[in-house]
Amino acid sequence: MCGLVGIVSKSDVNVQLYDALTMLQHRGQDAAGIVTCDNGRIAQQKGNGLVKDVFHTRHMRRLTGNYGIGHVRYPTAGSSGPALAQPFYVNSPYGIALAHNGNLTNADSVRAELYRDDLRHMNTDSDSEVLLNVFAKELQKLGKLHALEDDIFTAVTNVNKRIKGGYSVVTLLANYGLVAFRDPDGIRPLVFGRRETLQGPEFMIASESVALDVLGFDLIRDVKPGEAIFITTEGELHTRMCAEKTTCRPCIFEHVYFARPDSIMDGISVYKARLRQGEKLAEKILRERPDHDIDVVIPIPDSSRVSGQALAYNLGVKFREGLMKNRYIGRTFIMPGQQQRRKSVRQKLNPVTLEFKDKNVLLVDDSIVRGTTSGQIIQMARDAGAKKVYIASAAPAVKYPNVYGIDMPSVNELIAHGRTDEEVAKEIGADWLIYQDLDDLIEASSEGNPNITEFDCAVFDGNYVTSDVTQEYLDKLQEARSDSQQNKQRELDLDNTNVVGIHNDAAEG
C-alpha cells in the first residue's frame, strides 16, 4: 500500500506536496519522493525513510514548478532499497514521472514483453517501473511530436488493456501536466479536488480525501474505475473513461485498517464504517456470548479505536484507553520482517496497569494477520494483572494473501489459515476470540454508499477480483513474500545505495 499525490497550482507546489505526503504517511513509511516540473525542467528528490527525513530545505529550493507529484512507499515484496523509491522517471517520450499504488498481477509477463518486443530496459524488479514503461511505450507508439488530449487518453486505454491487477496512478508529463487513472475494478483508491484562487482553479489528486482537506481543496469526487484524468499546466481539467468493462469493487481492508478514519472513499466515510463494524461486532457477542463477563473494552491503537468505542457502547461496558502508544514508532503491520515487528510491539505500546488489574478485559483489534502483535499484547495484559483476556477482531479471519498491493504474507504465515477460531485463540493466548462476520463487514461499508454492493474481500474469502490469479501465481507470491525470503533480499539491499539516477541525499542528515 502506498500514498499518492499530484497538484497543479498557480505557484510552486513543493511545500504543498510535502504537506500532502505527511498526511499520507500512514500509507507508507519505507520511502518517499517528489517530482516537480518548471518550464520543462524536471527536478526530483527521493530516498528511503519518512517524509521528514527525505526532504530538507536544500531539496525544496530546487523542487520548483507549479505542478508535481509525490509518493510514500510501503513495500509489498522484493527489495526496499533506494532504487525502488518513487516516482520513477523516463525521458522518452516527453519526459514522464510516475507514482503508483497497488500491484500488477501480470507484471512478469509484461516485463518480458517490454524487453523482447519493445526493447525497453528496466532497472528494478518493481511493477511500478513496468507500468511506467507501458505508459511511455503507448505514448511513443502514437508518434506525435506534440501529444493531444485524445492521444493521452488513448495511451491510458491501451495501458488498461495490457496490464491487470489493482492500481491507482498519477503521472507527470513535462510541459503537459498531470495524468491520473484508476484500475477498471476500482480496487485501489484515488480522489481529486479543486481549489479556487484569484489566478484561477487549482487541482489536486490523492489517495485519500484527508490530504485534500488539509490543503484547502474541495473534494470533487473519486476517480471512477477505469477513468483517466488529465490536468493541463494551465489548470484545465479533462476526464474520460478509458476501459471497456468496469466495476466498482474497492478494497475493504482500506476501511478496516489502512485509511485514516477522517477520509471519504468512494462516498463512504471510513469513520462511520468503523463505527458500524463495532456495532455489528457487539451484536455478534451478545448473540453468541449473552452471559459474557467483560469488565472493560480496551482498543489496540489506533485503527480499532472507533470500532472499539461503538462495541463498548452497544455492550453497555466501560471503554478505556488501556494501551498507551509511542507515536514515534511506525505501524507494526507494515514493519519489514517478523523480528522487527516483535521488537516494535513492545516499543510501541505500554499498558496502563490500573485498567487491567483484576479485570476481565476485551481487547479490540482491527484485524489479526500474523498473530504476532496480538499474542504479545495479550501477554502484556496478563502481565498487567488481567484475570481474563478476550479479543475481538473488527475484521473476519485473514486466511488468504492479498495480491493487489497489501503485504499480506504467505498463507503459512497467516495465523488463521488452516486453523479454527478456537485454535487461533489458543495460539495467541486468548481466553476466547471472536471475529467479525464477512457479511456484516460488507454491510458496515456498503451502508455508507448503497451503490457499492461488492468489495475486494479476497483476504477473507479467497475470491480474487481479477481473473488471472492462479494457484501458480499464488505459489510464486508466497515464495517472494515469506519473511525468510524478504530478509535475504534486505541483506542484499543494505549496500544498494549507488543506484543510477539516485543520490542518497537522505542519509546526509
Q: What is the DSSP letter of 276?
A: H
Q: Which residue has the cell 471475529?
A: 435
449: Cβ contacts below 8 Å, ≥ 6 apart? 266, 267, 268
Tell me the pairing of strands 67-73 and 3-8.
antiparallel
Tell me the pairing of strands 218-222 and 227-232.
unpaired
In Å, how far are 125, 181, 183, 476 from 107, measured between CA atoms? 9, 18, 14, 12
Q: Which residue has the cell 484524468?
A: 229
Q: Helices (DSSP H) in 385-470: which residue ranges?
A: 421-428, 438-446, 458-461
Stated as kind and residue range, the H or E segment containing 381 is helix 372-383
- Measured from the Cβ of residue 250, the count of other Cβ atoms closer than 10 Å reads 26
Tell me the pairing of strands 360-365 and 388-393.
parallel
Q: Which amino acid is at 296?
A: V
26: cell is: 500512514
Nearest to 280 by CA among 146, 437, 420: 437
Q: Which residues sit opposite 200 in a β-bridge?
A: 197
Q: Which amino acid is at 434?
A: I
Q: Which amino acid is at 7?
A: I
Q: Are 393 and 416 in contact (CB under 8 A)?
A: no
d(C-alpha 355, C-alpha 399), whole Å: 32
d(C-alpha 458, C-alpha 465), whole Å: 8
Nearest to 430 by CA among 479, 473, 381: 381
Sheet holding 388-393, edge to edge: 318-319, 296-299, 360-365, 388-393, 432-435
Q: What is the DSSP letter of 255?
A: I
Show which residues are catalytic: 2
> Considering just the CA atoms, what is the radius of gyration of the chain in Å?
23
368: cell is: 489479526
In Å, how far are 9, 152, 269, 469 from 166, measured between CA atoms? 29, 21, 21, 12
d(C-alpha 459, C-alpha 463), whole Å: 8
Nearest to 257 by CA among 99, 365, 373: 365
Nearest to 134 by CA among 165, 152, 105, 113: 113
